[in-house]
Amino acid sequence: MKHFLKIFLFGICFLTFTACNNQNQKEQKGATDSISSAENTMIDSTVVNKTDSVSEIKTSSNQTSSSQATAKKMNIAVYYFHGANRCVSCIAIEEVTKKTLNTYYKKELSEGIIDFKTIDIEESKNKAISEKYQVFGSSLFVTKILNGSETKTDLTGDGFKYAKNKEEKFIEILRKTITDYLK
Do the beta carbons of residue 138 and residue 17 sit within 8 Å? Answer: no
pLDDT one digit per residue (tens) for the chain, 183 residues? 655 555 545 554 444 444 454 433 333 333 333 333 333 333 232 233 333 344 444 343 344 444 443 444 789 999 999 998 899 999 999 999 999 999 999 999 999 999 999 999 999 999 999 999 999 899 999 999 998 899 999 999 999 999 999 999 999 999 999 999 998
Strand order of the β-sheet with 114-120 is 114-120, 74-82, 139-146, 149-154
Do the beta carbons of residue 139 and residue 78 sit within 8 Å? Answer: no
Query: What does the pLDDT read at residue 148?
Result: 86
Class of residue 175 by CB neighbours under 10 A (exposed 0-12, middle 13-18, buried 19+) = middle
Helix (H) or strand (E) holding 12: helix 2-20
CA distances from 150 to 139, 145, 161 (A): 17, 5, 26
Query: What does the pLDDT read at residue 66?
Result: 44
Query: What does the pLDDT read at residue 115?
Result: 95
Instruction: Give the count of alpha carbons within 13 A of 158, CB side only.
Output: 19
Superfamily of domain 2-182: Glutaredoxin (3.40.30.10)
Query: What does the pLDDT read at residue 6?
Result: 52
Query: What does the pLDDT read at residue 136?
Result: 87
Closest CA to 77 of 59, 91, 93: 59
Q: Where are the domains of the chain?
A: 2-182
pTM for the complete prediction? 0.62
Query: What does the pLDDT read at residue 7?
Result: 58
